[in-house]
Structure 1
Amino acid sequence: MKRISILVPERAILGSLEGSRQLFTQVNGFCVQNGQPPLFDIQLVGIKLGTKVSGGLFTVNATHLISEVYTTDLIIIPAIDGDLGEAIEINRTFIPWIKTQFEAGAEVASLCLGAFLLAETGLLAGRKCATHWMASTDFKQRYPSAELLTEKVITEDNGIYCSGGAFSYLNLILYLIEKYAGRQMALLCAKVFAIEIDRESQLPFTMFSGQKNHEDHEVKKAQQFIETNFRDKISIDQLCDLVAVGRRSFERRFKKATNNTVLEYIQRVKIEAAKQQLELEEKNVNEVMFEVGYLDQKTFRGMFKKVTGLSPLAYKNKFRNLSPAALESHL
C-alpha cells in the first residue's frame, strides 16, 4: 500500500487539500468495490493537530504530526494563499521534513502556489516546475534557479511534480492516480468527478497584465506608451528617445524589470488586446488582426498560438461571450 501524506499547512486552500484527499479516497473505494485491497494509506500531516486554512474560515484536523511520520511515499503540498512570504515563514517547519523524506525516496507534488513552499526546500533548483501563471513573475524573482514552465498544467522532474493554476491541481492528482493505479482508474475518477483529463497547457487562461511591479520609472513610461499605442509600429529607438536612455541600457533595464524583451512585450500587449476583442466582440479574426496592428495573417496566427496555445479561431470559439440571440438559439 502506497502511503500518501497530504500536508496541512496554515493558510492552505481547503479545496486543493480536500479535493486531493477525496480523489485518492475514491480510488480506494473503487478497489474495495472490485474486491481488491485499498491502494493508498492517506494521511493528513500537520505541524499541529488543528490548523486554520482558507483565511481562517476552516480548521482541518491532521491525522498525524510530522514528528510521527518517519517514512512516506508521496507528499502532497496543497495551494496556499494570502501573503506568500508570510505563508512560507509560518510553515517553515515543513521544509526540512520534506527534504528528508525526498532524500529517503519519497516523491513530492506541489499544487498551484504550493510550489513556493516546495521551492523553499531547494529541491526545485535546476528542475522543471509549474505554478499559477499569475504568480510566475514573483516565483522567477524568488527562485531563479528553478526552471519555471509558465504554460504547463503539469510538470514532472525526477520524482517532483507541480501543477499550474487553481483547479488544475485536479489534473495533477489524476496524473498521479494514473501512474500508481493505471489509466482506467484515472479515467473512471475523471468521469465520476467530471474532470477534463489530459489537459497540458494553462496558456489559454493566461492574462497578460503588464508586469509593472518594479521601480524603474523610465521602463514604466515605455510600457505605458506601448499599451496606449500598440496598434502603431513602435521601434526600440523610438522608445529610447521617449525616455532618454541609450538603447543598450534601455533593453537591459526593460528585460530586468518585465522579464520580457521590448519586442516580446509589444507582441504580448497586441495579443492580449486581440484576445479581449475575440472574447467580447463579433469581429472576425482578420478584423481583429488589423485592429491590433498586424498586417500578415501567418505572423498573427503564429504569434497568437505561441502565446495562447490556440489558434485565434479556436480561442474565439472557446472563450467568446455569447450574445442573447446566440444564447436563445442554444436553448
Structure 2
Amino acid sequence: MSQADAPAEIGILLYPNVQLAAVHGLTDLFHLANRFATARQPSGGPALRVSHWQGADTSARVERVFDTAPGTRGSPAVLILPPSFGDPMTSEEAAPVAQWLRARHAEGTTLSSVCVGAFLLAETGLLANRLATTHWVCADALAQRFPEVRVDADKLIIDDGDVITAGGLMAWTDLGLKLVDRLLGSTIMLETARYLLVDPPGREQRYYSNFSPRLNHGDEQILKVQHWLHASGARQVTLAAMSERARLEERTFLRRFRRATGLRPTEYCQHLRVGKAREMLEFSNRTVEQIAVAAGYEDPGAFRKVFHKITGLSPGDYRNRFGLTARA
C-alpha cells in the first residue's frame, strides 16, 4: 500500500494514570467510523488506522504498542493526549514526551488533548499565545502553570488547526467526532454520532460547569463580602453597599475584589444569581418570568441576556436539556 493510499492514522498516547475508558472509547469510536467509511469505499480498504503509543521509561523514544493497520511507517495524522484521573505530569516527567510531541508536530502531525492532557500539550510550548481549554476544574491551575496560554474553559473544544484542545473528562467523544468529521467527512461523523447516541460537536463546557468562587485568596475583607453575597443570593446589592461592608473606598474595593476573585463585583453577582436560576430551572416548574424575579431580576429580558451570556443557553433551552422533563 502506498503512502498516498494509506488510511489516516490517529494515534492515542498512553502515559501514567491515563484514563483507560477514554483510550478504549476513542478506539471503539474510530473503529465504528472506519466501518461506516469502509462500507462506502469501492476498494473496501480501511479509511482510518488507530494506534496506541507509549514511552520507554524516561527516554524520548515513544513506540506504537497497538496498531489496527500495521505496515506503514511515518507519523500519525493526529495524536491525542487523553484525560487522566491523576495529577498532571511534572515538567521534568513530561520533558521527554514533550520533546517527542514537538518532533511529530514538526512533521505535520496535529496534536490534540482532552482535559488534563492539556498540561502535557502545554509542556511542548506549542500552546503559547494560543487559546486552549481543559476541564473547568483545572482551568486556573493550567493558567497559573502556563501563563503564556490563553485558557478559555467555557469552550468544550478549541480547534486551532494544528492543535486542538478539548475540555472535561467526557469531551473525548466531542474530540473524536470532530476528528472523524475532519478526516472522513460530516456524513460519516453524523452516522457515527447517531449510532452512539452522542451529540455531534457544538456543545460548550459552560452548559455543565457550576460557578466555583475563589475563597482562599487571603483577603479577609473581600471574603466577608463574598459570604454576605452568597447568603443573600446577591439580590438587590449595590457597589456602595459592598464597599461599605468591606469598609473600603469604592475604587480600592473594586481593585481588590477583582484581584481576589478574578471577577468584577457585578459579574460575581450575575454568576450567583444565574446559579440560583439554574437550580430552579432544573428542579421546579416555575415560569422563566417567575424565576427571573426570584433570582433578583425585575426585567425578564435582562435576565435572559445574562443567563445566555454565562451558560451559552437560553433559560428555555437549559430547562429542556437539564430540567425535570428532560430527566424524565
Report the TM-score when normalising by structure 1. Answer: 0.85
Q: What residue is the counterpart of 1:241 in the other structure?
A: 244
Do the aligned residues in 2 keep the contact of 1:48 with 1:62 (CA within 8 Å)?
no
Q: What residue is the counterpart of 1:271 in the other structure?
A: 274
Q: Could you tell me which amino acid in structure 2 is paired with residue 250 of structure 1?
A: F
Residue 44 (1) aligns with residue 52 (2): yes
- Tell me, in whole angstroms, the C-alpha distance in 2 between the residues paired with 1:104 and 1:124: 17
Do the aligned residues in 2 keep the contact of 1:9 with 1:46 (CA within 8 Å)?
yes
Q: What residue is the counterpart of 1:216 in the other structure?
A: 219
- Tell me, in whole angstroms, the C-alpha distance in 1 between the residues paired with 2:217 and 2:101: 33
**Shift, 1:31, TM fit:** 4.2
- Tell me, in whole angstroms, the C-alpha distance in 1 between the residues paired with 2:157 and 2:278: 24
Q: How does 1:51-62 map to 2 (within 5 A)?
A: 62=65
**Shift, 1:186, TM fit:** 1.0
Residue 73 (1) aligns with residue 77 (2): yes
Q: 2:170 aligns with which of 167, 172, 196?
A: 167
Give the SS at the match of 2:248.
Answer: coil
**Shift, 1:46, TM fit:** 0.9
Do the aligned residues in 1 keep the contact of 2:131 with 2:151 (CA within 8 Å)?
yes
Q: 1:213 to 1:97 in 2, by over 3 A?
A: farther
Q: What residue is the counterpart of 1:18 in the other structure?
A: 24
Listed one character per residue, the Cα deviations across residues 3-52 of structure 1 (whole Å, up to 9, x for unaligned) are: 32210011111122111122222233334444432123322111249xxx
**Shift, 1:155, TM fit:** 1.1
Listed one character per residue, the Cα deviations across residues 209-245 of structure 1 (whole Å, up to 9, x for unaligned) are: 2232433322222211111123532222322222233
Residue 4 (1) aligns with residue 10 (2): yes
Report the TM-score when normalising by structure 2. Answer: 0.85
**Shift, 1:187, TM fit:** 1.5
**Identity across the alignment (%):** 28
Q: How many residues align?
A: 309
Do the aligned residues in 1 keep the contact of 2:222 with 2:260 (CA within 8 Å)?
yes
Listed one character per residue, the Cα deviations across residues 240-282 of structure 1 (whole Å, up to 9, x for unaligned) are: 2222333333322322222211110011001101111111122
Give the SS at the match of 2:9.
Answer: strand
- Tell me, in whole angstroms, the C-alpha distance in 2 between the residues paired with 1:85 and 1:191: 36
Do the aligned residues in 1 keep the contact of 2:18 with 2:82 (CA within 8 Å)?
yes
Q: 1:232 to 1:242 in 2, by over 3 A?
A: same
Q: 2:265 aligns with which of 262, 265, 283?
A: 262
Give the SS at the match of 2:15.
Answer: coil
Q: 1:70 to 1:214 in 2, by over 3 A?
A: farther
Q: What residue is the counterpart of 2:316 in the other structure?
A: 313
Give the gaps of 5 or more residues in structure 2: 1-5, 58-63, 68-72
Do the aligned residues in 1 keep the contact of 2:37 with 2:184 (CA within 8 Å)?
no
Moved over 6 A (4+): none
CA RMSD between the two structures: 2.5
Q: What residue is the counterpart of 2:126 in the other structure?
A: 123
Give the SS at the match of 2:112.
Answer: strand
- Tell me, in whole angstroms, the C-alpha distance in 1 between the residues paired with 2:252 and 2:15: 43
Q: 1:94 to 1:216 in 2, by over 3 A?
A: farther
Listed one character per residue, the Cα deviations across residues 284-303 of structure 1 (whole Å, up to 9, x for unaligned) are: 21221111211111111100
Give the SS at the match of 2:324.
Answer: coil
Q: What residue is the counterpart of 2:298 in the other structure?
A: 295
Q: 2:253 aligns with which of 247, 250, 255?
A: 250
Give the gaps of 5 or more residues in structure 1: 50-60
Do the aligned residues in 2 keep the contact of 1:128 with 1:156 (CA within 8 Å)?
no
Q: 2:195 aligns with which of 185, 189, 192?
A: 192
- Tell me, in whole angstroms, the C-alpha distance in 2 between the residues paired with 1:169 and 1:246: 47
Residue 226 (1) aligns with residue 229 (2): yes
Q: 1:193 to 1:232 in 2, by over 3 A?
A: closer
